[in-house]
Amino acid sequence: MSLGDIFRMKITKVATYNPSEVLERGNRTFIQPLTLVKIDTDEGISGIGEGTLETKEKTVAACIMEHERYLLGKDPLQIEKHWQAMYKGTYWRGGPVLNSAISAIEIALWDIVGKYFNTPIYNLLGGRCRDKIRCYVGVGGNTLERLADNVELAVKAGYSAVKFMAYGVDDRMLNAVDEAERRCKAVRDRVGDKIDIMLDCHGRPSLQIALNLVQNLAKYKPLWIEEPLSPENVNAMAELCRHSRIPIATGERIFTKWGFRELLEKGAAHIIQPDPIHCGGILETKKIAAMAESYFLQVAPHCPYFQVALAASIQIDACIPNFLIQEGGELRGKWLVKEPFEVESGYIKLPTKPGLGVELNIDAVEERPYKPRIPEAYMTYREDGSIEEL
């Protein structure tokens, strides 16, 4: 046994949690289970991570525990080595489940490292570029008036940026572009040009519809139009980018640096949206951001999740020069941590505590049992009964 083996910190336990949050929106109830991991060490330092993947929460938790056999006894400071081992070391790689599990573990390891060195993670990744993080809030509304009302409420709450569905409220092709334009006009008529609006499409349009969308909606000056095409359709995305006066954003369903390589090389985005709890974790997101910086692109991390995921995103936002804006202004799951983030005038202050800067509220986690999210309840259907993109 070497001196390194004697004096190094070691992982002693890996545990997962699947609490659920129940959201009431109008007359509908939405159930969102989470996937969390907690990693303990023999130094008494623990780290937490999140890998919530809608409708696959238990699957990701099982995948995390499959890595326990490798992680036990290992030095948590060797994050890059462990990432490579989990991603490359078992032959099969890729996909949302495996990458979400690896991301959750990686985030927990960074939390341990930050606590070990008694500093926020961003100080270990080059130091902060900014002192606060601009964020946006997602708003909904199935009618024009309700959408405009909700945007106005967000502005009154201090937000300077909102995102809403532009395409998908009415999926009939003849009406879709007109409906998207009506929604943008209703928002601009209500709040004027004093806020940034972002338009989401969930990858539903065809290239022809997307070309019409970017042409007709440009006059409303959106900050971006998100997933106007399926993320797998890289060549079409590149063509759309060449013709669009609206910045094209995508990336939430793309994994690792290798997944983003083709997107960047083909000029298939103006703004990228890697998701730290799915694309590979904190360091992998920073690598992706560095790749994007070399192509003069900005980064707006995807994060419609909970406080642990948001904490990971904020650590990255702090230290990447090409950061644009952060999703997550809704601050979901404030019960999850002991001192949740707060938004002031559309910004989140940088945490100054070691590691992620948040501490898991175990009592609250254990009080919220797992409730499965029924996939069919969230599916959308065309008039003929076939299934549309969510």
Catalytic site residues? 202, 302
Tell me if residue 83 falls in helix, strand or coil: helix
Tell me how far the alpha carbon of residue 45 is from its chain's centroid: 26
Which of the 8 DSSP states describes residue 355? B
What is the SS3 string spanning 211-254?
HHHHHHHHHHCCCEEECCCCCCCHHHHHHHHHHCCCCEEECCCC
373, 57 in Cβ contact below 8 A? yes
Alpha helix ranges (H) inside 135-191:
144-156, 173-191
d(CA 202, CA 131): 32
Cα dihedral sign, 185-186-192-197: negative
Tell me if residue 156 falls in helix, strand or coil: helix
Pairing of strands 132-138, 347-349: antiparallel
- Indicate the residue type of 73: G
d(CA 10, CA 169): 51
- Indicate the residue type of 48: I
d(CA 356, CA 9): 19
- Give me 221's structure tokens: 């000056």
CA distances from 127 to 54, 84, 317, 318, 382 (A): 33, 24, 11, 8, 49
Nearest Cα residue to 198 out of 264, 154, 243: 154
The residue count for the chain: 390
Cα dihedral sign, 17-302-226-166: positive
Q: How far apart are the first and last CA of the chain?
A: 54
Give all strands (DSSP E) within 314-369, no chain letters. Answer: 326-327, 343-344, 347-349
